[in-house]
A and B are shown apart, each in its own frame.
Chain A
Amino acid sequence: MIEIIEREELVPNVHTCTVRAPGIAKKALPGQFVIVIPDEYSERTPITIADWDRKAGTVTFVFLEIGASSQRMAELNAGDKLYSFTGPLGNPFELGKFGTVALVGGCYGIGGIYQAAKALRKEGNRIITYSEARSNFLLYWNDKLEKVSHEVKYATTDGSRGKKGHAWDILQKDLTEKTKIHRIIAVGCTFMMYKVAEVTEPFGIKTIVSMNPVMIDGTGMCGACRIVVDNQTKFACVDGPHFDAHKIDWDIIMSRRKAYLEEEIISKER
């Protein structure tokens, strides 16, 4: 059982949760994930690690309230216990000096890119962060991101902050206008990552996406998280979760992500 230190609804439907997990806090690296089970009945839910404090022994993750298990997580508060919390899983982002790195975050991925921005900046890269939401009030961690980025660009679909449109729209515009970018990393919903891959491909810039397929064990046993990369079957939990966005078979991913929509509705109703 893992103790919750803090659970807060950052913006409607997006929550942050900080837990006491010194072992994981000590080892976590940018881009890794945890598997969370809020109570005995819930699913094993893979969630990107957003932040940690190695000294305090705490780990923070940001999650979208969407199915029954994340809804249960959203009901828990400081002092409550998580039934199970396992990590750090998956491989971290590749670090190194690339030049200018564009980090694109949407939804839970805004939290998901924070530590990557921090680490890549430390490596001497120039960091441009693209943070997107439907509206200004749905953006979060703006201060945190601004602190670790050289530049933060906001995109909102209603135009209430930054450019009107999506992050991939501004990214495309920037690339067309010859902003020098040497590597792109996108974390967020599958559709956003797919669109980022689509707009960056013609420019031939290496684009890394953090895949979030359905997983069960998350440790290289069940095979649920298989995706096709370069015509080969890969497993997001142990081979990923980061892959070259231009080599992914996106059609398969989009349809596999939707496999349990009906069940998600049923399990939320009971």
Chain B
Amino acid sequence: MAKISPRKTPMREQPAKERIRNFNEVPFGYSIEEAVQEAKRCIQCKNPGCIAGCPVEIDIPGFIRLIAEKDFKEGINLLKEKNILPAICGRVCPQEEQCEKVCVVGVKNEPVAIGRLERFLADWEREQGEIEIPPKPKSSGKKVAIVGAGPAGITAAADLVRWGHKVDMFEALHQPGGVLVYGIPEFRLPKEIVFGEIDYLKKLGVRLYTDSVIGKVKSIDELLKEYDALFLGTGAGLPWFLEVPGENLNGIYSANEYLTRANLMKAYLFPKYKTPIVRGKRVATVGGGNVAMDCARSALRLGAEKSIIIYRRSRNEMPARDEEIHHAEEEGVVFQLLSNPAAFHGNKKNWVAEVECIRMKLGEPDDSGRRRPVPIPDANFRMPIDVAVIAIGNSPNPLIPSTTPDIETGKWGNIIADPETGKTSKKSVFAGGDVATGAATVILAMGAGKKAARGIEEYLQTGVW
């Protein structure tokens, strides 16, 4: 056997200096030669850890072998048996925490670039033009409503429609995709790709109703009269703020608002698109997760001269993916670590002009296992800024719980759902994704959608709640 190359086949990408002036996707994806070369790094182990490491249990060695054999068509078909959204997952899944973390090649070398190979197959299929639609399954005569067309909902819809159920999907916004469209920026996940995947769902027979706020235009109980089961994947809700003085000054956004303006409403194309966004010269983003990286990198593309991440712990504790932090650093995002805003100070017109930060040091580990940040007294400092983005998380969406009194919710307003089946406290109603778990990742939401689809299938078959 040929010696395994110790490193992943590199993926070409837009140089940092160029890309901070546009919203185009950063990595270009593998060519056929690069994909085949990378696929050959997979040793096809007998007991692969990667499948168990994947929340949707893709046959990873299987599709990689097919890439190595240049049978891309079979490869994509095998991939799609488990994952209906490979073009998205290949781009935004934290593979380093999942499949690639347990890759055997990764013990002594860099792991196989599973995510990049997944993306390659999805992109290859799209470039072929017509995407193959599997034959229609036999109708089960059952109807399922999916509430929320984000990653959890579309994953559940895909499985349920393939099992012969009639699936209607309701989306509150004017476009489907949820966080994939309103949250994740174009340069990380082009919207065309998301809409392509959703078109595929429609071709499978899923009916999509946008502009439909369930809980308002129709209640859960009304839906239950029309459908045999419901899946609630309503996602993120109201953003958390720091609750510090000056936070309501103009120029201070929640991450949800900043990203929704930029992505869903295309404010980066203002004034062709009419939704404005403040193009700050010095933008401070508060938080250390993927969403914070998305905001800080968007700020650069919107013309910021300086984009600063303010994070209260050190780089080691940052929850963002390494790749995202790395991309942000390459692009010139400045990391103001071990600092936490104590106040925002405004100018005479009530616009934010300065952020005042407390310096922190790391103390003992807290419940999350990360070292707790402890304020250093009398060490506050100020930085001039003209836009701030608060990216410290959000609570689950309140609309369904507030309009469905008999559904049980947890401490944070999250809908309580069985993590294995998605069952809620209300008969025939399942839930998953951020609305059940609080803010998490796209792939975890998809995993929850998949599990709930199985839960729904079992319920529809047996009628047992």
Interface residues of A (CB under 8 A from B): 23-24, 27, 37, 41-44, 67-69, 83-89, 216-217, 219-224, 226, 228, 233, 235, 238, 252, 255-256, 258-260, 263-264, 266-267, 269-270
The answer to whether the Cβ of B261 comes within 8 Å of any Cβ in the partner chain is: yes
Q: Mark B158-202, 1 if CB is under 8 A from A, else 0.
A: 000000000000001110000000100000000000000000000
- Smallest CB-CB separation from A260: which chain B residue? B276
What is the bound-complex CA distance between A235 and B399, given in angstroms? 12
Q: How many residues belonging to B are interface residues under a CB distance threshold of 8 Å?
A: 45
Number of A-B residue pairs with CB-CB distance less than 8 Å in the complex they form: 120
- Smallest CB-CB separation from B278: which chain A residue? A259
Q: Mark B248-265, 1 if CB is under 8 A from A, else 0.
A: 111101101100110011
Q: Are A228 and B248 within 8 A (Cβ)? A: yes
CB distance from B82 to the nearest CB of A (A): 30
Q: Are A219 and B397 within 8 A (Cβ)? A: yes
Shortest beta-carbon contacts, A-B, top 8: A263-B276, A223-B254, A84-B174, A255-B350, A223-B239, A222-B257, A86-B211, A267-B271
The answer to whether the Cβ of B241 comes within 8 Å of any Cβ in the partner chain is: yes
Q: Are A220 and B237 within 8 A (Cβ)? A: yes
Given contacts A87-B216, A88-B217, A238-B402, A43 and B211 within 8 Å (CB-CB): no
Given contacts A224-B257, A256-B250, A68 and B274 within 8 Å (CB-CB): yes
Of listed A221, A224, A226, residue having the most chain B CB within 10 A: A221
Complex interface: chain B residues within 8 A of A226 (CB): 241, 248
What is the bound-complex CA distance between A73 and B440, given in angstroms? 38
CB distance from A170 to the nearest CB of B (A): 32
Complex interface: chain B residues within 8 A of A43 (CB): 265, 274-275
Q: Are A41 and B274 within 8 A (Cβ)? A: yes
What is the bound-complex CA distance between A235 and B210, given in angstroms? 23
Q: Which of A24, A223, A233 contacts B256 (CB 8 A)?
A: A223
The answer to whether the Cβ of B272 comes within 8 Å of any Cβ in the partner chain is: yes
What is the bound-complex CA distance between A154 and B276, given in angstroms? 37
Not counting A87-B216, A216-B264, A258-B250, a sample of 17 additional A-B residue pairs whose C-beta atoms are within 8 angstroms of each other reads A23-B217, A43-B265, A87-B217, A216-B260, A217-B260, A219-B172, A221-B256, A221-B260, A223-B239, A224-B254, A224-B257, A256-B250, A259-B250, A259-B251, A263-B270, A267-B274, A267-B276
Q: Are A83 and B174 within 8 A (Cβ)? A: yes
Complex interface: chain A residues within 8 A of B243 (CB): 233
Q: Are B172 and A270 within 8 A (Cβ)? A: no
Q: Are A238 and B250 within 8 A (Cβ)? A: no
Complex interface: chain B residues within 8 A of A217 (CB): 172-173, 182, 260
- Smallest CB-CB separation from B273: which chain A residue? A41
What is the bound-complex CA distance between A258 and B172, given in angstroms? 27
CB distance from A219 to the nearest CB of B (A): 5
Q: Are B211 and A85 within 8 A (Cβ)? A: yes
